Amino acid sequence: MSDNDAKPSRRRFFAGAATVGAAAAASSVLPGLALKPTASAEPARPAPERGGGYWLSEHVQRYYQTTQL
């Protein structure tokens, strides 16, 4: 070990404070995400018999609208 590893420094202090702050922010946000139910806009469709499976869903229609000039 060198002498630099044993000395506390401002850089280590701020790195540790940033880590603790990020962990606190994550722990306060993550429980709220788990409680929200995921809503499905469209019901699940059965798989096609002969392959394929493309259908014009709402999000695809919105994409097509954004690409129009």
Residues 50-63 have pLDDT tens digits of: 777 777 888 889 99
53 domain residue, yes or no: no
43 domain residue, yes or no: no
pLDDT at res. 67: 92
9 domain residue, yes or no: yes
Q: How far is CA 39 from the centre of its chain?
A: 17
pLDDT at res. 28: 78
63 domain residue, yes or no: no
Q: Can you say whether residue 17 is alpha, beta or left, with left for phi > 0 and alpha for psi between -120 and 50 degrees?
A: alpha
* pLDDT at 2 > cutoff 60: no
The better pLDDT of the pair 8, 19 is held by 19
Q: Quote the CA–CA distance of 16 and 38 in Å, as a whole number.
A: 35
17 domain residue, yes or no: yes
Domain that holds residue 16: 1-36
64 domain residue, yes or no: no
24 domain residue, yes or no: yes
Residues 17-57 have pLDDT tens digits of: 999 998 888 877 776 665 556 565 667 777 777 777 777 88
Token pair, residue 48, equals 């096609």
12 domain residue, yes or no: yes
Q: How far is CA 54 from CA 40, 43, 45, in A?
A: 18, 15, 11
